[in-house]
Amino acid sequence: MRLLKYISDGGLRLTEHFISDESVPPYAILSHTWREGQEVTYNDLITGNGTDKAGYTKILFCAQEAQRNGLDYCWVDTCCIDKLLIA
What's the structural domain count of the chain?
1
The confidence score (pLDDT) of residue 44 equals 92
pLDDT top residue among 7 and 87:
7
Find the angle CA(37)-CA(84)-CA(41) to the nearest 5 degrees.
35
Contacts of 13 (CB under 8 A, 6+ apart): 4, 5, 7
Q: Which of 48, 40, 52, 50 is nearest to 79 (CA)?
A: 40
Confidence (pTM): 0.81
CB 2 within 8 A of CB 80: yes
Domain range holding 47?
4-86
Sheet order of strands, 12-14 included: 12-14, 4-6, 73-75, 27-29
Q: Please, are residues 56 and 48 in contact by the beta-carbon 8 Å criterion?
A: no
Give the rounded percent of residues in the chain with a pLDDT score beyond 90.
45
